[in-house]
Homo-oligomer: A and B are copies of this chain.
Amino acid sequence: MKPPVINFSTLQATVEITATLAFALSGLLAGARKQLDVVGLCVVAGLSAFGGGTLRDVLLDRRPFFWVEHADWLWALMALSFGAMLFMRHRHLALTEKAIQWPDALGLGLFTASGTSLALEAGMPGIVAVLMGVITATFGGVLRDIVCNEIPAAFNDHRPYALCSFVGGWVMVAMVHASAPPWAAISATAAVAMLLRGLALWTGWTLPAWRIDGR
């Protein structure tokens, strides 16, 4: 019943890099809309990519952070921010937003899997582990929106996002309890969260609204 440890095979590394870049790009888009300067762009890109995992690690009291162990990524992130600033124009924004939806869903799935798995490893109960997965997957975007002075999109755009991560996290909990092999648990978790997100995008499904103004 030992929870799976994420190993970096070449395939997985490729997938992880794609997902992290998608998260960073979502930060760059938000920063562009807010006319941030180059420093602000690097910060929102970094917060979007690493903020969720870092917050999870602070809560779990885990060190070193991903971006401390793999400090090269910080350079990649800066290069990405400079590149975006040099080459991205207004007409690219909507395009990029559409293009990153799928890698972003991938990131949602992978970060859910890694966050939930790490929390289970640290001995957290199921609901807490799932929450840690959700935090890993969504709080990068939340911090991005707070810095950009917006209500976090994850909390008020009425599209399922954190919810997909929440459901995916329970897949991880179930498979670890069933002593499934790590690669199976991770794949299943990531797949469920990603497909749910994809389904939500595809069908335009919205969360039921709070009909606070009466019937």
Binding site for B on A (CB under 8 A): 31-32, 34-41, 43-44, 54, 58-59, 61, 63, 65, 67-68, 71, 74-75, 85, 88-91, 93, 124-128, 131, 142, 146-152, 154-158, 161-163, 207-214
Contact = CB atoms under 8 A, between A and B. Distances in A.
Contact of A63 (B35, B54, B61): B61
A184 B146 CA distance: 39
A156 B213 contact: no
A67 B128 contact: yes
A175 to B, nearest CB: 20
Contact of A210 (B32, B146, B163, B214): B32
B37 A155 contact: yes
B207 A38 contact: yes
B156 A36 contact: yes
Given A146-B146, A149-B149, A128 B68 contact: yes
Nearest to A134: B39
Closest 5 CB pairs of A and B: A40-B155, A37-B158, A71-B125, A37-B207, A39-B162
Given A39-B161, A59-B65, A151-B148, A210 B128 contact: no
Contacts of A36: 151, 155-156, 210
A133 to B, nearest CB: 13
Nearest to A38: B207
Contact of A152 (B38, B131, B147): B147
A195 to B, nearest CB: 19
B128 A71 contact: yes
Contacts of A127: 71, 74-75
Nearest to A155: B40
B149 A209 contact: no
